[in-house]
Amino acid sequence: MTLHDIAATRRGFLAGSGLLIGVAIAPKFLAAAPTGVQAGGDSALTPMNAFVKIGTDDTVTVLSKHIEFGQGPFTGLATLVAEELDADWGQMRAVHSPTDNKIYANLLFGLQGTGGSSSIANAYEQMRKAGATARAMLVAAAADDWKVPASEITVEKGRIRHAASNRESGFGAFAEKAALQTPPAEPKLKDPKDFVLIGTDLPKLDTLGKTNGSAIFTLDITPDNLLIAVVAHPEHFGATVKSFDDTEARKVQGVVDVKQVPQGVAVYAENTFAALKGRDALSVEWDLSKAETRSSEELSADYVKLFREKGLEAAGKGNVEEAFNASGLQTVEAEIVFPFLAHAPMEPLDAVFIKADDGSVDIYNGAQFPGMDQATTAQILGLDESKVRVNTQLAGGSFGRRAQFGSPYMQEAASVYAASDRSRPLKHMWTREDDIRGGFYRPMYAHRMRGAINADGEIMAWEQVIVGQSIMGKADLDQTSVEGASNLPYAIPNLKVTSHNVPLAVPPLWWRSVGHTHTGFAVETFVDELFEKIGRDPVEGRLALLKEEPRHAGVLRKAAEMANWGGHVPEGRARGVAVVESFSTYVGQVVEVSVGTDGAPHVHKVWCAVDCGMAVNPNVIKAQMEGGIGYGLGAVLFDAVTLGKGGKIIQSNFHDYRSIRINEMPDVEVEIIKSTEKPTGVGEPGVPPVGPAVANAWRRLTGAPVRKLPIVNIVSA
Amino acid sequence: MVTFTLNGQERTFDGDPDTPLLWVIRDFEKLTGTKYGCGIAQCGACTVHLDGMPHRSCILPISVVEGSEVITIEGVSGKEAEAIKTAWAGLDVPQCGYCQSGQIMSAVALLQMVPKPTDADIDGAMTGNICRCATYHRIRAAIHNAANSMEG
């Protein structure tokens, strides 16, 4: 499918859509958009009514303010709308909303954006109200047409009925008339006990296109006359172009131009292969004067030195110094080092730029913060923001990678487009090598743990020092460095958690579950070691310290029950457990591990219990637990981006930045705790527990605690 | 000039003979279901059938495709393909979906060769296909479901 096909589809859609609930379309951009895909005119809608469109063919299209890159917001948000609209699931559709930081704001962020496992949590009432509003307007339209009281009209599975007069209609017939009704000031929402769609395993709306090749991602947008651009990047962070020779590159058949941009040297070509071949033929000399030239090993040594310096206080309870000095205590210590991690989404970063006749520009990309992408690109292109339309596309994964303050990737893409004469549409793409070496990693961290146990086997004191980059770029305490540690759920009388922010030229970023990627590991492996020292069962031990934390205890008990904890474990295998709360969702996991043929842990099975409040779509929740477990496990077992001698990035592609594969994926069983609490997110919380659970099983199996990640390195060392 | 069959239609390509089949399919034939993921045959997102066998199109120069029959996700058909696609939808396998064309092409080829695969057969056939969303658990179940649905 080409962009023109999309354009045709879109035009057909607009022509056929009778109702944009409550508001007439203000087509101020429609004429300007050469492609018609998600033209920005939609942004003229008012907030309460900007989310639902009803077609004359009875289809209901939800405009998702959140990007769909696998975590299920298209399905989840559509479920919320459909529930209150009393629609039939078969008539529901979802598309990305236009870009608008106000109308489509994430209510937890204050701007449009997807992340922090917040899509369902922030949109739960908003989308239900959007559905309820639409329902009320359809009913009002029908009542007016049928000359009957609105109170006598019922709606069920997409059918509007008036029983007394035996009249019935679909939504489409009343769509236009409904659009003229005054929306209710405060639409009535259902009592959760009356839900018919929320809480059921509705099939996902985006599955079909993803099983027949028709789903369009940014990389698939191929307008006529398209230029492809790739950029030669340095192999050191902080390096810049000193000089370059493009003689050979320009000789490559299909190469159109070569330009220097702030991020490196861009090659423009008629097709992707020519661009790649042209880039390979470039000769670039890099200026390393401002580059990071320390290796990961040297960085780690520098981090560990900071353990002895005074840090930023993240948590303080009781008197830790006094507690450690008390007599008759056993002190346990551990230092744990975490590597840089790349997100490595399947679709490397990319963007398409198309200039309209009036000089405005349509941008197509996997926009996680679309408003920020819009502001950033507008500035670089020298255009008013109103002249730049960011059209969010399906994206091949993100795991945090596409959510960047200041949109650094789009800075590069826009710089490349700006350096062309802009007469042709342009696609800027990264290769896998650009992705693995592109920075914005989960930062390196070093943790120092100290625990004190008294003669009665009680944990009396806990001290944790965390050293690493501040993802938020802060000089003072960064909560994303200490979350999960500073709010330690275990009842320990004396607690001290401090952190050190380390400045580094390697750009940091959040990576699926952010701080919990390392704090979850450090806390859950260390507490497990303490229980082993005391001789306490790791489940019983945890439960005894979680008396004030019923939701932690609930998922832990459930996971243990699922695994028949304490029951028979096959010869040569051991079990480990961990429980972590992240993004207000609670996940407990039990894993069963043996020593694999390569000497590394082989994980046979994961039992997972999750408490995310009310389950909107259990099937999606289970899928996110399964996927989160695989993603977290792969990283803990195999992954590190390493700076070698002189600071050069060592890894470059999937051969040395190893992804978990099907033969390494454990069997996963998931149960969801029944709850009436408001729903919380599931995109990230499946990740944190699996690493420590595996490390705990490994320690019990082999006697070797995991002090350095990934595990495969210590095994092979 | 290279001549080959793409989803049953004869096609010619007269550009750089080193151009990988992947980019011929995507850039010149505008069939975008086949994806780029690594360019070095490590991830399998670009998997197509070449004369009936699964191949990584990202490392296959178009020159070696001369006279061959290429099938992509857009053109794959037959009872194995139908069974796999139905099973995929039944379990809602895809998350981001980007790797799934390649997964499905590998899975269809597996069922064409081994109608009732074991877990070890699945490991052998599918290990070359990375899914960063880690939908592996459902991929395995969907392949078994597809195989079961083809019986009788």
Is A411 found in the same domain as A384? yes
Please write down the long-range contacts of A122-128, taking CB distance under 8 Å and 24 or more positions apart.
Answer: A123/A65, A123/A66, A123/A73, A123/A76, A123/A77, A123/A80, A124/A80, A124/A616, A124/A678, A124/A679, A125/A189, A126/A51, A127/A51, A127/A62, A127/A77, A127/A80, A127/A81, A128/A80, A128/A81, A128/A83, A128/A84, A128/A189, A128/A190
Domain boundary, last residue among A146, A177, A210: A210
Are the C-beta atoms of A71 and A624 separated by less than 8 Å? yes
Is A364 found in the same domain as A336? no
ipTM, 2 decimals? Answer: 0.98
Is A306 found in the same domain as A260? no
What is the pLDDT confidence band of residue A31, given thresholds at 50, 70 and 90? very low
Is A334 found in the same domain as A251? no
CB-CB neighbors (< 8 A) of A350 in chain B: none
Report how far residue A271's alpha carbon sits from residue A109's, in angstroms, rounded to the nearest whole number. 39
Is A678 found in the same domain as A590? yes
Is A656 found in the same domain as A599? yes
Taking only the tens place, the pLDDT of each residue in A515-535 is 999 999 999 999 999 999 999
Q: Which superfamily is assigned to B79-150 in CATH?
A: [2Fe-2S]-binding domain (1.10.150.120)
Distance from CA of A422 to the nearest CA of B (A): 20
Taking only the tens place, the pLDDT of each residue in A627-648 is 999 999 999 999 999 999 999 9
Is A474 found in the same domain as A621? yes
Full DSSP string of chain B? -EEEEETTEEEEE-S-TTSBHHHIIIIIS---SS--S-SSSSS-TTEEEETTEEEEGGG-BGGGGTT-EEE-TTT--SHHHHHHHHHHHHTT--SS-TTHHHHHHHHHHHHHH-SS--HHHHHHHHTT---TT-THHHHHHHHHHHHHHH--
CB-CB neighbors (< 8 A) of A399 in chain B: 132
Taking only the tens place, the pLDDT of each residue in A59-114 is 999 999 999 999 999 999 999 999 999 999 999 999 999 999 999 999 999 999 99
Domain that holds residue A422: 218-289+349-429
Determine the average pLDDT of the residues in A551-563. Answer: 98
Is A464 found in the same domain as A409? no
Distance from CA of B135 to the nearest CA of A (A): 6
CA distances from A142 to A139, A176, A359 (A): 5, 11, 44
B16, B100, B140 ranked by CB distance to A273: nearest: B16
Evaluate if residue A21 carries a pLDDT over 60.
no
CATH class of B2-71: alpha beta
Is A661 found in the same domain as A570? yes
Q: How many domains does chain A have?
A: 3
* For testing contact with chain A, the best of B73, B137, B143, B144 (most A CBs within 10 A): B137
Full DSSP string of A495-538? EEEEEEE---SS-B---TTTTHHHHHHHHHHHHHHHHHHHT--H
Please check whether residue A436 lies inside any domain of the structure.
no
Is A644 found in the same domain as A587? yes
Is A616 found in the same domain as A526? yes
Q: Is A386 left (phi over 0), alpha (psi -120 to 50) or beta?
A: alpha
CATH 1.10.150.120-classified regions of chain B: 79-150
Evaluate if residue A45 carries a pLDDT over 90.
no
Average pLDDT, chain A: 92
Domain boundary, last residue among A161, A180, A210: A210
Chain A residues 647-706 with a CB less than 8 Å from chain B: 653-655, 659-663, 665, 667-668
Determine the average pLDDT of the residues in A610-622. Answer: 97
Domain boundary, last residue among A429, A452, A478: A429
CATH 3.10.20.30-classified regions of chain B: 2-71
Are the C-beta atoms of A87 and A81 separated by less than 8 Å? yes
Taking only the tens place, the pLDDT of each residue in A188-205 is 999 999 999 999 999 999
Is A484 found in the same domain as A452? yes
